Structures are given as C-alpha cells and as structure tokens.
Amino acid sequence: MVAIAIAVFALRTPRFTGVRYYCPALSGSIMTTTSSSLSPCPNLINGEWIDPKLATSEVFNPSTGEVIAHAPVSGAAEVASAVDAASRAFPAWRDTPAVERARVFFRFRHLVEQHFDRLCHCVSREHGKTLVEARGSLFRGLENIEYACGIPSLLMGDTLEIARGVDCETIHQPLGVCAGITPFNFPVMVPLWMFPVAIACGNTFILKPSEKVPLAANMLGELLMEAGLPTGVFNIVHGGRASVDAILTHPKVRAISFVGSSPVAKYIYETGTRHGKRVQANGGAKNYIVVMPDANVSKSVEALSTAAFGCAGERCMAGSTALTVGAAAERLLPDLITAARAIRVGRTDRPEQKNQPDMGPVITASHRDRVIELVSQGEREGAKIVCDGRGARVSDGPKGFYVGATIVDEVAQSMTIAREEVFGPVLNVMRMDDLDSAIELANASNYGNGAAIFTNSGSAAREFKQRIKAGMVGINVGVPATMAMFPFTGWDDSFYGDLHIQGREGVQFFTQQKVISTRWLGDTGPAAADVWRK
C-alpha cells in the first residue's frame, strides 16, 4: 500500500476544527489515522495538511471492493480558506521571475520521477489501472511538467517599432487564483495537464480532485512542497458538488479548468462564466474509428483493442465505436473477437505480482452495473453480443468491480448504446456501405473529441481528415490524444470554452496579454541635461 507520509502535528486552524498535519518526504513516516487500515486524506491549505472533521465519502479499491480511505466532503468554508491562502500568496509568486518559477518544476519533475513507482501503485490501487496503464499516464503527465519547465520561452512577448520613436510590446501576465476540477479516470495525468502550466505562468492554484481518487493528488501536493513551491501557491480541497459550486462562485477565482462528463462540463462552463470566470471545460465523447476494406487487419485489431479496452474503456478518447466499411467487418471481426477474449481481467493493486492482468476493474460497483445494463439493453434492442464480458469474475477479487472486454455487433444508430457514452470496455460495431455514410453517421454525434480511420488509401485518409467533425483525428492511429505541446482540442459537446487545455492555448488560458506603446519625448533643455549628469 502506498501511504502518504504525514505525521500528526497537533495544531488547530482558526477556520477549521480539524487537525493540521506536517508532511515530510514520501520516504518518511506514515500519516496517522483513526483506523490503521485506511489511508489519510486531508486537505492541503496554505502549506498545511488539514483534516476538517467533516462528513466523508468512501474511497474504494476497485480491484477488491474494499474501502481504503475516507475523503472529506468539503464545502464553502474550506474552499474560502484555500482561496484566501492562494490570494495572499499570489503577489509574491507573480513577481517571482519566470526562470525561478521554472526551476521549481525542474525539481518537481525530478521528484515525480524519483517516486514514479509509488505514484503508479497509488493510481492502480485507487483507480484500477493496470501498472502499464498507470505508468503510461504518468509519463504523459511528466510531459506536461517538462512543458511547464519551458515557461520562460513560452511567456516571451513581441516588440516592434511601430512609428518613428514609438515602440510597441506585448507581455503575458498571470490572472491570479485559478482552479482545476479533475475526474476519476486519470488521477495524476489530468491534474498535471493543469497546474504545472498555471503555476509556472505565475498563478496560484486550487485543485479539487475527484472524490473517488483523492490519494494520488495528495502525493503530488507533497512533492510540490518538497520541490520548494512557496506556501499557499498550491492547495487541495477534497469534496463533491458543494466544493465545486463554491469554486465556481467565489469572486477571487479567476479561471477554472475542468475535465469530466459533458453534462457537468456544460454546467461548469455556464456557471463559471456567469460569475465572470474564464473556463475551459472538457466533456465526454463518442469516438468513432472507421475501418476501410483495405486496412491492415492485424494493425487495426491491435489499435481497436487498445482504443476500446485500454484503461477499461474509462477515458474520453476511447475508441468506442468501429464503423466498418464494406467487407471490413468480415475481415476484422474474427481476429478482433479472438483478441478481446484473450484479454485477462484481474487485480491491479499488487505491483509485485509477475503475471500482471491486461485490464483492471471499472471505478465503482454502480458504474459496472450501468455498463452491463447498457450492453443488455443493446441486446434487447437487436444488437448481437459476439464477445460477452458481463460475467467477468476474478477469483482473488470476488468483490471487485469487473467487466470483461465486450464487442456488440450490428449496432444501429437508433439504439441507446449507440448514442450514450458507455465509458467501459465495450466496442460497438456498426456496418457502413461506404466512407461517405460512415462520415455522415460520425458527424451526426453531438460529441467531437476524437475520430480515426484505418486505411492504406491516401485519398480516403485525406477525405476523412478534412470532413470529420472532431478536434483530434488519427490516421492509422486509434487513440489520437495529443502530447503536451499540442492543445487537447475537443469540439461541440466535448468541450465548452475557447482556449483548450495543454500547449500554447493552455498558456494563453492562464495568462492575460498586455500591449504597451512607448514614446520618449527627449527634452534637450538644460534641466534635463543636469538630471542625466547626476
């Protein structure tokens, strides 16, 4: 078990009735709790780990169904305290030169790498990712830290002599207190999409992680403090809707970055902007993968399996629907079914085991039941279950939340499973006559995160990339998720806002541009000359 190294330091805060904790390095002693079987989950406010003694929500190990922690259900008071701390810390951090802010993230990157395995174990334990998936997600997070390390270059402005004796320049300045509201499916990676760039730009930050996966976020906070980030620049508040609403409405919060479902993304965007905040809200998806008759079968099967069943399908870039054109289904399905049946489902919370599973559990029992019901409803509506993972069981994790790889063939556009985001290890297969009809069906979706095509035809690929309605497009790439230097460009109901997360748009989102025009009216009189001599 990965434990956050925090020892009790019996102090009280003026605003809370809870206990403050002192946090040494991760290699130190284990944070004490009322129950030795539970991991502690305090808030981080103004450099102190605080147990607010509030009502709590259960944090599960989805591999076993066991409760491993209780996350505090923070509200407006806790958010206000975090905002106050961030607001007080902002002026000094804003005035810290960008090169010095970057050095904090160089040290932070080193610490994340040093504690890489512990972070991955924590992700596997509280989320259910396999060790390979946890490592992959943390590597993607590291890319964003590395991008933030380049902030001195990213913040450079422009200058031009616009008239005789008149200069014009641009500078990029931080906004103030910013916040990130992150989902359960990537406990480390998605927070690292947000706060490294935000803080490197000179802002202070409040992270509200998913109450389902709060422990890895606390580990990141501990490492940030060890890297030398000043007190109050980074804060963590755990909780649910009450804490989210408090962030959305607090007058001192200037910008909010969100990743989650589309209905919540829309709510975050509308509420935040109504209260005068800059908002980037990334929502859900229904991502289509077109497979042409000339596609390489083995490569297509490999990519489809990864896109549909990787991370147990719990990602907004999951390739959840295969649009097979012409004879592609007959060529593809036998090997695809064989590959899906070969995927081993198992416990992911034991990194020491040599025979690691290929896929772990989904996040909760209720989510497992929802995925299974959507598949069953598709069957009732006429689809064919050609690979059925609904009965997945794990002998050493009988209470875990498991669904096996599932393929649903002959799905029609009118079916519920075709319209809703399943967010589980389920691949829909839809039969299409030609590329035009495949593109038309995909473009009828309200979502627009990602889309991909598998083909050896340059003409088909070009037609697809020009006409498909999605922000991220893959050509023989099943999961076209962007790297840190490129924006994560969802469209339509997959994104609410103007400036996307990651890349230069991320820097623009967390800064405001100032344009300065300068003219010096050289006074040549005796008084001016005397001043310069002095």
Query: How far is Cα 442 from Cα 435, in angstroms, rounded to an integer?
Result: 11
Q: State the helix-helix crossing angle for 98-114 and 116-127, rounded to 10 degrees.
A: 70
Asked if residues 100 and 267 have their Cβ atoms less than 8 Å apart, the reply is no
Asked if residues 58 and 70 have their Cβ atoms less than 8 Å apart, the reply is yes
Helix (H), strand (E), coil (C) string for 9-45: EEEECCCCCCEEEECCCCCCCCCCCCCCCCECCCEEE
Which of the 8 DSSP states describes residue 60? E
525 Cβ partners below 8 Å, 6+ apart?
none
- Among 92, 69, 12, 68, smallest CA distance to 45 is for 12
Active-site positions read 316
Query: How far is Cα 494 from Cα 42, in angstroms, rounded to an integer?
Result: 32
Query: How far is Cα 452 from Cα 269, in angstroms, rounded to an integer?
Result: 28
Strand-strand pairing, 66-72 and 56-61: antiparallel
Query: How far is Cα 436 from Cα 442, in angstroms, rounded to an integer?
Result: 10
The per-residue DSSP string of 47-70 comes to TEEEE----EEEEEETTTTEEEEE
Distance of CA 136 to the CA centre of its chain: 13
Query: How far is Cα 503 from Cα 513, in angstroms, rounded to an integer?
Result: 17
Quote the tokens at residue 177.
Answer: 């207190």
The sign of the CA dihedral 440, 441, 444, 447 is: negative
Tokens 């802010």 locate to 101
Query: How far is Cα 269 from Cα 363, in angstroms, rounded to an integer?
Result: 25
